[in-house]
Amino acid sequence: MGSPDGCTLIPWRGGRPLAWDVRVCTTVAASYVTAASQSAGAAAEQAADRKSLKYAELSAADEFQSVAAETHGPMDEATISFISELERKITEYSGDPFDSCYFFQRASVLIQQYYSIFFRETFTAEDEIDT
């Protein structure tokens, strides 16, 4: 088993630190295409379930949060709930009601950047045109 992508140093909930792992899945990957063909967000739900199973033993020491999104936008329900709670805490701390909007926009941009890199890597060197 690997380690989560990150962990807070301060308690998140119930006196336990928050550990998280992020998965951005592409709906055209063989492992997600069946789920993705059923409904929007199904691949993200499947990815989140896999991460939760992978890190199930962390739950005693840490509060674990799987963060899953599809390259075409949808996120799983737990991720949406987590981001909403995080946005609320950010706004509560800063006092700026727009901070939560900035956070979600930044997360969306990061996913789009990942997708553009992923898309570019699907082309081979033979497909590129020298300019």
Q: What is the pLDDT, as a whole number, of residue 124?
A: 64
One-character DSSP codes across 66-121: EEEEETTS-B-HHHHHHHHHHHHHHHHHH--TTHHHHHHHHHHHHHHHHHHHHHHT
1, part of any domain = no
Q: What is the pLDDT, as a whole number, of residue 12?
A: 84
86, part of any domain = yes
Structure tokens at 22: 């992020």
Tell whether the model's pLDDT for residue 128 goes beyond 80. no
Q: What is the pLDDT, as a whole number, of residue 126?
A: 61
131, part of any domain = no
What domain range includes position 95? 6-122
Domain count, the chain: 1
For 45-90, the pLDDT digits (tens) are: 888 888 888 877 766 778 888 888 887 778 888 888 888 888 888 8
Mean of the pLDDT values across residues 92-102?
82
55, part of any domain = yes
Task: Identify the weakest region by mean pLDDT among 13-17, 68-72, 97-101, 125-129.
Answer: 125-129
Give the integer Cα–Cα distance in Å for 67 and 21.
Answer: 6
Beta strand 63-70 pairing with 6-13:
unpaired
129, part of any domain = no
pTM over 0.75? The answer is: no
**90 vs 28, residue with greater confidence:** 90
Tell whether the model's pLDDT for residue 44 goes beyond 70. yes
Give the integer Cα–Cα distance in Å for 80 and 68.
Answer: 9
127, part of any domain = no
Percent of the chain whose pLDDT exceeds 70 = 86
